[in-house]
Structure 1
Amino acid sequence: MIPRPVSVRPSPGSVAPHAGVHARIDPALAPEGYVLDCAPGGIDLRGGSEAGLFYGRQTLRQLQPSVPCGRIEDAPRFRWRGVLLDVARHFMPVPDVLRFIDLIAYHKLNVLHLHLTDDQGWRIEVPGWPRLTSVGAWRSESMLGARRHARYDGTPHGGFYTTADLRRIVAYAARRHVTVVPEVDMPGHMQAAIAAYPHLGNGYTGPVRTAWGVSPHVLNHEPATLDFCRQVLDHVCDVFGSELIGIGGDECPGDPAEQARFTARIAEHLAARGRRVYGWDEILAGGAPPGAVIAAWRGPEPAEAAIRAGHQVVCCPDVQLYLDYRQSDDPGEPTPVGTRLTWADVYGFEPPDHPLVLGAQANIWTEHMESLRRVEYMAFPRLCAFAEVVWGPAERDLADFTARLPAHLARLDALGVNYRPLTGPRPGDARAHAPGHPRTLADRLAELREMIANR
């Protein structure tokens, strides 16, 4: 839900229904902090910046229709309060992305990590490389359910964002104090680009990947391919204002030392543009570039390894913050994959207490989410719990959150959000034609340890 304010000092009465709000910036406050003084005759809102004023207004939205009198003092605990949205596996039209930005901003989240490319689709136009979108943005069909079932829908799928589309998304997010961090995965997860331009790969001349999972068809490290990557990232830097640029670096078969050299060259190029690398924790193998920020996803150990290496970290462990994982053991859950992850489990997540930890990020991978409506079902109310984790203090009360949650779900009802009911999935939520592959927590943790050991 909208994170509960850090300090609330109530006083008798409530604000008159038509009382005004006087808003002003107070440099003495933390940049994202705010203070609300609510009296019968009106509301005084002070924010450390425009962002602080914005978050104060979100709190006022939560308090409607009857705003109690008193003082609220509030500021976030973490700088990075993020969500990854995968638009590569299933393309999301611009209005859907804007709608999703509204919903995360309402919950005081401030980073949208936009996963723009993968083996199954390339979603960003790049000047001089037209086949990235005419070929790479389209696949002939999509898998239905988990890979082990080998089912396909037989329906072409695709789409891409023009430069104007992306600028619109970035500007829309900025007005809501959300930074859009783009990701172009490299050197792995590149089959869509290689399908468009086979000389970028190592002999593959086939189509965009239709199966989920990791493709063995990755970029070669020839000078021409590195020039391609630089041109793509130059365009990304021209469109996105984020200091951090996602380059993936995950799940790439091959020599970790060779990949480290590739990543170092890319990091040098981004540094010349005043940007820094944001990469998955696999880039730690062989040594991550200086200044790189690590997205630690393979359990808790990579965050600790990144800290030891002196890198800033965003925590996004899959067994605690991957919102494509199933929400219960109910057979009616849509395409149940991964370990069971309830909203209470998400509420119990706590990032390491260390100055190098920027914050945390919940990841929404969309292999099994073909629409925004499905994304909303998988995201909420788990994203409500996550918002409290990254905004408020480490000391949290699950019973208190549980008691407040129904009232917040009523707000989501008013916004038309297709959240998962607390009582469980509805009959129409199931995807019997797209069966899943549930996992136990113990099995998944064992897999993650093996992945780390093999790198």
Structure 2
Amino acid sequence: MTDVIPAPRHVTDYGANFYELGPGTKLAAGEGTVRTERWLRGVLGAATGLPLNPGDGGDGDVIRVYLHSMVTKDLGDEGYRLAVTPKGVHLVGGGAAGLFWGAQTLRQLLGPDAFRRAPLPGREWRLPVIHIQDSPRFRWRGLMLDVSRHFMPKDGVLRHLDLLAAHKLNVFHFHLTDDQGWRVQIKRYPKLTEVGSWRARTKFGHRASPLWEEKPHGGFYTQDDIREIVAYAAERHISVVPEIDIPGHSQAAIAAYPELGNTDVIDTASLSVWDNWGVSKNVLAPTDNTLRFYEGVFEELLDLFPADAGPFSEFVHIGGDECAKDQWRQSPTAQARIKELGLADEDELQSWFVRHFDNWLSARGRRLIGWDEILEGGLADGAAVSSWRGYQGGVTAARAGHDVVMCPEQQVYLDHRQAAGEDEPMPIGYVRTLEDVYRFEPVPPQLTEAEARHVLGTQANVWTEVMEDHARVDYQTYPRLVAFAEVAWSALPAPAERDFAGFERRMTAHYGRLDALGVDYRPPTGPLPWQQRPAPEGMTGGLGRPIEGAPPNV
């Protein structure tokens, strides 16, 4: 039985026979396969030291990669067939993406050392004689990475894109702005990065912690950095969905441009980029000036994230969550706008704000997506919803005819702790083990078949309040993202019937791949000594808010 992760749909293993790659192995690439050909020659050439020269392999010693319409008909654009015989490999994709996912499977079958960047001495490169036919369950298979709370340099982002590709995940939700930092260069508004990209100090741990790291933290991506990230992702058939959070989670922007805030309520000129966690009460003012400002932001953003860079690149995420209404209730300007528009209250004022950008993006051929709070007040037909507060937002959206990405906090927030032990680093949130994630079901059971078709897919979310560097991001994300990837890709049975023991067995080999990739994951036996970081005395962790539909082990 193959140890490939995510598990393929159909596998026929022919036993003890194998195909061995050597100096004479050729790589024969058909029309339309240039991305996969370039990637295969690069990664396998680096790991094996083999040249993999172009050629048809007349003697049979050949890896053939090509596209075929029959695979598209049977398995879709992201499907593939992989056949290994004692004389060579035939990898055929339904589309360019399917061919690339098949190449990822081929790499896994060569063993963990195929994930290294230079050849190790004395290695044999053997593939089992096998036939695999595979395609994904969901179209949207994503990871959201928050770089606002703790900035991740560009090279780290590129590394995570490679890790997503290795697990057949195809959407990178890029959370670029929040109260604690603005991370993307907008040329017409230079203060967004000059002022908004750094904070004077950082809370150590979750917001209940009494400790601070008393040094500046910051960073941002230039526009060319963003273009490079988007192009790098596209080469790996990953769509990048940017998030600019409005009208809440905006203190960094207000610190840079005080006129964006509720100046008739507080002295916005005295605000700085927020150094704490949680939900800031400093939100955008519902003025025409604010609308024009963010239209300018989105105009530059649409150029940086072109709609044709991937199957979900038309989407722009506007956040729309956790907008505190305190200042609007006190603001004569906000109250006048509510009266002018004939709105009932501040909740409808937020809906008006969201709908403005929903229409603005739609007029430019884009699709708005936001957290499930954006449902309140109605959406344009093309808008989609990220259901994070449990399943109900997704149910409501699907029943209203909106597409949904399921990412409920209770199941797939990977910043939540992985075990209840006191040696877990800075425990926050609810215990969600590897098995919990493996038994996550993205489609709410109460949806009809027609309603369930609105579930585009699913994503895991990584919020970085307590993740100050790449090692902490790795620890919280892996190996749980591996389990999530199988949920998103594979045709698994109902959660209670899933073979977690079999998944753990396959993970035994997969940990070797993660080791070769340099991933600082949480070992199955618990954190290593240097991964432990207990909470400060008196701090028990937890988010301190009730959650809808939470399982019993919260």
- 2:274, 2:13 → 1: CA distance? 57
Contact 2:427 2:534 in 1 (8 A): no
Matched residue SS, 1:388: helix
- 1:287, 1:272 → 2: CA distance? 17
Asked if 1:283 is matched to 2:348, the reply is no
Contact 2:535 2:541 in 1 (8 A): no
Contact 1:167 1:239 in 2 (8 A): yes
Contact 1:146 1:437 in 2 (8 A): no
- 2:209, 2:143 → 1: CA distance? 29
- 1:114, 1:409 → 2: CA distance? 26
Q: What displacement does 1:432 show?
A: 3.9
| Matched AA of 2:279 | V
Asked if 1:334 is matched to 2:376, the reply is no
- 1:27, 1:216 → 2: CA distance? 54
Matches within 5 A, 1:16-95: 16-18=20-22, 19-28=61-70, 29=72, 30-64=76-110, 65-95=125-155
Q: 1:142 to 1:103 in 2, by over 3 A?
A: same
Matched residue SS, 2:405: strand
Counterpart selection for 1:186 from 238, 246, 259:
246
Contact 1:15 1:66 in 2 (8 A): yes
Which residue number in structure 1 is paired with residue 272 of structure 2?
207
TM-score (norm 2): 0.79
Matched residue SS, 2:152: coil
Matched residue SS, 1:302: helix
Asked if 1:135 is matched to 2:195, the reply is yes
Which residue number in structure 1 is paired with residue 533 of structure 2?
431
Which residue number in structure 1 is paired with residue 437 of structure 2?
346
Matched residue SS, 1:66: strand
Counterpart selection for 2:453 from 355, 372, 375:
355
Deviation string, structure 1 residues 335-383 (Cα, Å, up to 9, x no partner): 1100001111000001116100011000000001111111111111100
Contact 1:299 1:318 in 2 (8 A): yes
Which residue number in structure 2 is paired with residue 404 of structure 1?
506
| Matched AA of 1:386 | F
Higher mean Cα deviation, 5-14 or 77-86?
A: 5-14
Matched residue SS, 1:147: coil
Root mean square deviation of aligned Cα:
1.6
Matched residue SS, 2:213: coil
- 1:438, 1:303 → 2: CA distance? 28
Matches within 5 A, 1:50-449: 50-64=96-110, 65-203=125-263, 204-205=268-269, 206-241=271-306, 242-254=313-325, 255-352=346-443, 354-395=452-493, 396-432=498-534, 437-439=540-542, 446-448=546-548
Q: 1:150 to 1:438 in 2, by over 3 A?
A: closer
Contact 1:338 1:437 in 2 (8 A): no
Matched residue SS, 2:511: helix
Contact 1:350 1:394 in 2 (8 A): no
Higher mean Cα deviation, 285-294 or 274-283?
A: 285-294
- 2:172, 2:531 → 1: CA distance? 26
Task: Write out the 4+ residue segments of structure 1 that deviate beyond 6 Å after TM superposition.
Answer: none
Deviation string, structure 1 residues 302-352 (Cα, Å, up to 9, x no partner): 111111221110000011000000000111111110000111100000111
Q: What displacement does 1:406 show?
A: 1.1
| Matched AA of 1:131 | K
Q: What displacement does 1:149 show?
A: 2.2
- 2:130, 2:184 → 1: CA distance? 48
Q: What displacement does 1:434 show?
A: 5.7
- 1:5, 1:149 → 2: CA distance? 44
Deviation string, structure 1 residues 150-170 (Cα, Å, up to 9, x no partner): 321111000100000000000
Q: What displacement does 1:447 show?
A: 4.0
- 1:140, 1:417 → 2: CA distance? 30
Counterpart selection for 2:13 from 10, 14, 32:
10
Matched residue SS, 2:415: coil
TM-score (norm 1): 0.95
Q: 1:179 to 1:51 in 2, by over 3 A?
A: same
Deviation string, structure 1 residues 86-135 (Cα, Å, up to 9, x no partner): 00000000000000100111000000000000000000111211110010
Which structure 1 segments of 5+ residues have no match? 451-455
Q: 1:154 to 1:433 in 2, by over 3 A?
A: farther
Matched residue SS, 1:16: strand
Which residue number in structure 2 is paired with residue 453 of structure 1?
none
Q: 1:434 to 1:145 in 2, by over 3 A?
A: farther
Q: What displacement does 1:298 show?
A: 0.4
| Matched AA of 1:391 | W
Contact 1:362 1:386 in 2 (8 A): yes
The structure that has the greater radius of gyration is 2
Which residue number in structure 1 is paired with residue 49 of structure 2?
none
Contact 1:2 1:108 in 2 (8 A): no
| Matched AA of 1:224 | N
| Matched AA of 2:318 | I
Q: What displacement does 1:413 show?
A: 0.7
| Matched AA of 1:68 | P
Matched residue SS, 2:394: helix
Q: What displacement does 1:17 show?
A: 2.8
- 1:149, 1:24 → 2: CA distance? 55
- 2:521, 2:69 → 1: CA distance? 38
- 2:242, 2:442 → 1: CA distance? 23
Which structure 2 segments of 5+ residues have no match? 23-60, 111-124, 307-312, 326-345, 445-451
Deviation string, structure 1 residues 2-41 (Cα, Å, up to 9, x no partner): 3011101122411123342101011222100000111010
Q: What displacement does 1:433 show?
A: 6.7
| Matched AA of 2:68 | D
Higher mean Cα deviation, 270-279 or 60-69?
A: 60-69
Contact 2:137 2:489 in 1 (8 A): yes
